[in-house]
C-alpha cells in the first residue's frame, strides 16, 4: 500500500516469527526502485509483481538489497526476471548474496555512495556498516526520507551478530544518520518513524548503557559470555537468549579492539583504563 506519496510498502509475510520485513517501492517520474524484497516465496514474489503492475508505476530500474540476510534479497531474482531491473548491493555484501542466488548475480556492487535520479526523487545509496559489515541505506534528499534496512527497527534495536558486523561501525552509522537529519525513517521492520532524532539518540544510548553494564560487571571479576548473560538478562526464549549472547560478544569485541578488555580462553577481564 502507499504509505507516503510515491512510497509503497509491499509487506513481506512473517515466515520465521522474528519480525515482518518491509519491501519498499519508491516510484519516481522517470523510474522506480524496490528496496528489499522480503522472504523468498512464490506468494511474496507474485505480490510484488502484481502490485507493480496494478499501480502502473514507471519502469523499475533497480532492486536495492540492503544486506545479506534472507528477507532482504529473498525475491530479488524473481523480480529481476520479470522486470530486468539491476540488482544493487555493496561489494562486501554481494558475494554473500550471490552465493544464495541460483540464476543471477548482483549487477552493481557499490564501494562508495551511488546517486540515482528518479525525476521527482533524488536518492543516494550509502554504505552504512554495522548490522552487517556491508549494509547499505537509501536516502531521499529532498524530503529527507531514510531507508536503513535492519540498521533501524520501529521497535527495539538492531541485532549485531559478531560474525556479521561491529558495534563500533554501527554507532558511527547512527551518528551519520543523525547528521543528515532525516524527517522520516522507513525501517527494515515496523512502521515509519517520524520522531527520528529521538529514535536515533535512543539507539546510541541503549548501546552505551549496555556497554557500561558489562564494564561494571567486569570491574568485579572475570566473566564468560554465559556468565555475563546470566547477570544481565532473564526470562528470555532460547532464540532471544542466543541473540542476547551475541550482543554481549559484540560489545566485548568492541572493548577488546579499544584495549579495554582482554580474553583468555572464554573468560574476559577488564584492563585498567
Among 194, 218, 236, which residue terminates a domain? Answer: 194
Q: What is the pLDDT of residues 7-55, one digit of tens each?
A: 999 975 554 444 688 999 999 999 999 999 998 999 889 999 999 999 9
Please check whether residues 72 and 125 belong to one and the same domain.
yes
Mean pLDDT (the chain, rounded): 94
Please check whether residues 167 and 266 belong to one and the same domain.
no
Query: DSSP of 53-68, one letter per residue?
Result: HHHTPSPEEEEE--SS
Please check whether residues 37 and 113 belong to one and the same domain.
yes
Please give the average per-residue pLDDT across 95-119, as a whole number.
97
Give the integer Cα–Cα distance in Å for 260 and 217: 13
Per-residue pLDDT, 272: 77
What would you measure as the largest C-alpha separation in the chain, in angstroms?
Answer: 63
Count structural domains, the chain: 2
Please check whether residues 234 and 150 belong to one and the same domain.
no
Please check whether residues 135 and 238 belong to one and the same domain.
no
Please check whether residues 240 and 155 belong to one and the same domain.
no
Per-residue pLDDT, 273: 60
- Give the structural domain span for 248: 210-270
Q: Please report, to the nearest 10 degrees, the dihedral formed by the alpha carbons of residues 36, 185, 164, 75 taken in order.
A: -10
Per-residue pLDDT, 17: 41
| Model-wide pTM > 0.85 | yes
What is the CATH classification number for the domain harbouring 248? Answer: 1.10.10.10
Nearest to 249 by CA among 228, 231, 233: 228
> What are the Cα distances from residue 56, in Å, to 27, 47, 117, 140, 235?
10, 14, 19, 22, 49
Q: Is residue 152 part of a domain?
A: yes
Please check whether residues 66 and 186 belong to one and the same domain.
yes
Q: Is residue 222 part of a domain?
A: yes
Please check whether residues 185 and 159 belong to one and the same domain.
yes
Per-residue pLDDT, 15: 47
Q: What angle do CA 104, 79, 155 make, to 5 degrees?
A: 105
* Res. 57: pLDDT tops 90: no
Q: Is residue 201 part of a domain?
A: no
Q: Name the percent of the chain lying above pLDDT 90.
A: 92
Q: Are 254 and 246 in contact (CB under 8 A)?
A: no
Please check whether residues 120 and 232 belong to one and the same domain.
no
Per-residue pLDDT, 12: 59
Please give the average per-residue pLDDT across 229-258, as a whole number.
96
What is the CATH classification number for the domain harbouring 22? Answer: 3.60.15.10
Q: Is residue 200 part of a domain?
A: no
Instruction: Name the 3-class secondary structure at 33.
Output: strand
Per-residue pLDDT, 20: 80
Please give the average per-residue pLDDT across 179-184, as a whole number.
98
Percent helix, strand and coil across the chain, each rounded to 5?
35, 20, 40
Among 194, 221, 239, which residue terminates a domain? Answer: 194
Amino acid at each position: 500500500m502507499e504509505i507516503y506519496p510515491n512510497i509503497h510498502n509491499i509487506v513481506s509475510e512473517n515466515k520465521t516469527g522474528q519480525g515482518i520485513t518491509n519491501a519498499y517501492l519508491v516510484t519516481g517520474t522517470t523510474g522506480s526502485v524496490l528496496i528489499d524484497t522480503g522472504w523468498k516465496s512464490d506468494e511474496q514474489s507474485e505480490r510484488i509483481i502484481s502490485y507493480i503492475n496494478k499501480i502502473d508505476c514507471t519502469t523499475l530500474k533497480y532492486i536495492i538489497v540492503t544486506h545479506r540476510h534472507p528477507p532482504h534479497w529473498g525475491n530479488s531474482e524473481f523480480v529481476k526476471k520479470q522486470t530486468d531491473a539491476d540488482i544493487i548491493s555493496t561489494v562486501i555484501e554481494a558475494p554473500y548474496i550471490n552465493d544464495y542466488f541460483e540464476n543471477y548475480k548482483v549487477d552493481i556492487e557499490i564501494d562508495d555512495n551511488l546517486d540515482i535520479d528518479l525525476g521527482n526523487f533524488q536518492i543516494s545509496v550509502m554504505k552504512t556498516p554495522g548490522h552487517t559489515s556491508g549494509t547499505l541505506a537509501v536516502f531521499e534528499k529532498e524530503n529527507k526520507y531514510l531507508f536503513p534496512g535492519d540498521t533501524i527497527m520501529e521497535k527495539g534495536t538492531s541485532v549485531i551478530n559478531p560474525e556479521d558486523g561491529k558495534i563500533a561501525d554501527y554507532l558511527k552509522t547512527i551518528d551519520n544518520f543523525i547528521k543528515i537529519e532525516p524527517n522520516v525513517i522507513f525501517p527494515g521492520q515496523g512502521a515509519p518513524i517520524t520522531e527520528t532524532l529521538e529514535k536515533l539518540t535512543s539507539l546510541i544510548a541503549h548501546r552505551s548503557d549496555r556497554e557500561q553494564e558489562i564494564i561494571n560487571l567486569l570491574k568485579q571479576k572475570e566473566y564468560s559470555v554465559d556468565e555475563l548473560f546470566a547477570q544481565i538478562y532473564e526470562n528470555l526464549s532460547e532464540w532471544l537468549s542466543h541473540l542476547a549472547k551475541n550482543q554481549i560478544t559484540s560489545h566485548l569485541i568492541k572493548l577488546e579492539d579499544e584495549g579495554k578488555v582482554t580474553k583468555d580462553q572464554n573468560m574476559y577481564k577488564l584492563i585498567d583504563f
